[in-house]
Amino acid sequence: MKPNHNENDTMTSAILVTGGAGYAGSHTVAALLERPDTDVDIVVVDNLSNAYRPEGQKKPEPLRIIEEMTEKTIHFYDIDIRDAAGLCRIFENHNIDCVIHFAALKAVAESVEKPLEYYQANITGTCTLFEVMRKYGVHKLVYSSSCTVYGEPERLPLDEGHPTGAGLTSPYGRSKYFCEEIMKDLCRSDPKWMVISLRYFNPVGAHPSGKIGEDPNGIPNNLMPYISQVAVGRLKELVVFGADYPTVDGTGVRDYIHVVDLAEGHVKAVKLFKQKGFSGFHAVNLGTGTGYSVLQLLSAFEKASGRKIPHRVAGRRAGDIAANVADPALAQRLLGWRAARGLADMCADTWRWQRTHPNGYRGE
């Protein structure tokens, strides 16, 4: 693929989005391209391990749909982030100015069964990407981190000063924590690095068009896609994991954040790189600051969908915590970002996507 050239015959500056065909990545690509002031190329690298590309199609389905929605082109490479030579080709072909790094394996329970696969993809892959970035003099990075790094909360809401790394229950969680430590070391080693590690709470929802959304492989591990698949008739009933937590109704409480708000957080982070004097490692929560229980989410979804969702209570899920809520104040101060969409939007947008795509991107 030929690099883009502008009138002055310099290459258009580009943002590299790893894992950009996945759930959070595709919504962020859409948010970047939907902005009228976006004057950068978007380059996506994804190995399609958790994204769908129909046979014979060049681009993964969510990217094709975003191109159609925005009438803009996305450059796509089917490459694994552990493939250094492949990544180098991308940096040769495009004038990459910054990287948004989503690519990772993310199934918590699977990571306990397959720790090496998770450390390989999430840590070796991330280090390979950083080496290539350094080689090409690219030091601006937005990283997909997780509230998981806080472990069992000592206090709520969770602010970024809360300790990280203690009591992590899965290789997945540890991989996110280790990557943060690696990025801190990188920033200590060279002041040119600018790293914003966005600690997501629980991303849910879909693009308001209903055209892109979350498309989990197999039976969903997470609550919102599970509920929406019960609502659409793909699954029989929701199993509520524990109703004996010290919470409002005994069920687990989480800080659900609309994926479009999450995507906009990334757009704000990229803008911060332009601020004079900005450098070093910054961890920032992306959450709403409000927690909802499993039963509250269930009831909001029933309202949004107009459907009754069968459910039964079972025992606690291993490794779960009672409650998790973000302090989003730093995101407001540093990025000028705050979540704009509430629980009703999260449910309505998930439902619009799910009812129009009962089998996700794969159709019937």
Select the residue interacting with ligand NAD from 14, 16, 50, 194 (CB under 6 A). 50
Q: Which does 256 bind (CB under 5 to 8 A by kind): ligand NAD, ligand WQD, none?
A: none
The answer to whether 350 contacts ligand NAD (rule: CB under 6 A) is no
CA distance 84 to 90: 10
Give whichever of 74 and 297 is closer to ligand WQD, judged by the CB atom: 297
For residue 293, the minimal CB distance to ligand WQD (Å) is: 8
Please check whether residue 297 is in contact with residue 345, taking contact to mean a CB–CB distance below 8 angstroms: no
Q: Which residues pair with 286 in a beta bridge?
A: 200
Structure tokens at 28: 């962020």
- Minimum CB distance to ligand NAD, residue 277 (Å): 28
- Nearest distance from C-beta of residue 292 to ligand WQD, angstroms: 9
Nearer to ligand NAD, 11 or 241 (CB): 241
What is the rounded distance in angstroms from the CA atom of residue 235 to the CA atom of residue 245? 25
Which partner in ligand NAD, ligand WQD, none is near 239 (CB below 5 to 8 A by kind)?
Answer: ligand WQD
- Least distance CB 206 / ligand NAD (angstroms): 12
Q: Which amino acid, one-letter code, is at 79?
A: I
Query: What are the CA-CA distances from residue 169 to residues 74, 172, 314, 315, 319 (Å)?
Result: 37, 9, 21, 18, 6
Dmax (CA) for the chain in angstroms is 65
Given the complex with ligand NAD, which of 310 and 319 has the nearer CB atom?
Answer: 319
**Residue ranges that bind ligand WQD, judged by CB under 6 A:** 106, 108, 146, 148, 173, 202, 221-223, 226, 238-241, 252, 254, 294, 317, 320
Q: Which SS3 state, helix, strand or coil, does residue 75 take?
A: strand
| Per-position x/- string for 67-96, each x denoting binding to ligand NAD as judged by CB under 6 A, each - no binding | -------------xxx--------------
Over the window 7 to 36, marking each residue x when it contacts ligand NAD by CB under 6 A and - when it does not, the resulting string is ------------x-xxxxx-----------
Report H helices in the chain.
23-34, 61-70, 84-93, 108-113, 115-119, 125-135, 171-189, 223-231, 259-272, 294-305, 329-330, 343-356
| Cβ atoms of residues 156 and 335 within 8 Å | no
Judge whether 172 counts as a catalytic residue. Answer: yes
Instruction: Say which entry of ligand NAD, ligand WQD, none residue 25 contacts (CB below 5 to 8 A, set by partner kind).
Output: ligand NAD
Name the closest residue to ligand WQD (Cβ). 252
- Number of helices (H), then strands (E), belonging to the chain: the values are 12, 13
Distance CA 354, CA 176 (A): 29
Residue 302 binds ligand NAD, judged by CB under 6 A: no
Of 39-47, 274-282, 291-299, 339-347: span binding ligand NAD (CB under 6 A): 39-47
How many residues form the binding site for ligand NAD (CB under 6 A)? 27
Q: Which amino acid is at 63?
A: L
How far is residue 359's CA from residue 361's CA, in Å, rounded to a whole number?
A: 7
The residues that bridge with 98 in the sheet, in sequence order, are 15
The residue annotated as part of the active site, out of 172, 177, 200, 226, is 172
Kindly write out the interface string for residues 96-125 of this chain, putting x where it contacts ligand NAD by CB under 6 A and - elsewhere.
------xxxxx--------------x---x
Residue among 14 and 21 whose Cβ is closer to ligand NAD: 21
Identify the three-state secondary structure at position 170. coil
Asked if 41 and 4 touch (Cβ cutoff 8 Å), the reply is: yes
Please say whether the beta carbons of 254 and 202 come within 8 A: yes
Q: Could you tell me which of 189, 100, 181, 84 has the C-alpha nearest to residue 140?
A: 100
Contacts with ligand NAD in 217-236 (CB under 6 A)? none
What residue type is assigned to position 21 of the chain? A
Please report, as ranges, the residues that interact with ligand NAD according to CB under 6 A. Answer: 19, 21-25, 45-51, 80-82, 102-106, 121, 125, 144, 146, 200, 203
Which positions are catalytic?
Answer: 172
